[in-house]
Amino acid sequence: MGNKICPKCKGKISYLRWSENAVRFGSFEKDGDYITDSVEGNGGMEYLCPECDEVLFTDEQEANDFLHTKIELAINSL
């Protein structure tokens, strides 16, 4: 697929960055090491433009559709 155009900054992008708020659980050892036992997300995924860091989507399917041209015209008309 070719590059997409970010509707916010008009930058050319070929992928989206993602972020998720999560809680990490683990152990703090005597030697100062942190051992991660588990990571639990809250399901709050955000998909961002890698050029301007604006949140473009909060739904994985919409982010995927954007990258595969299915909703490019709707996004570009914002």
Domain boundaries, the chain: 4-76
pLDDT tens by residue, 32-55:
999 999 988 777 899 999 999 999
pLDDT at 17: 97
Mean pLDDT value of segment 2-6 = 86
CA distance 13 to 4: 5
Higher confidence at residue 32 or residue 21?
Answer: 32
pTM of the complete model: 0.69
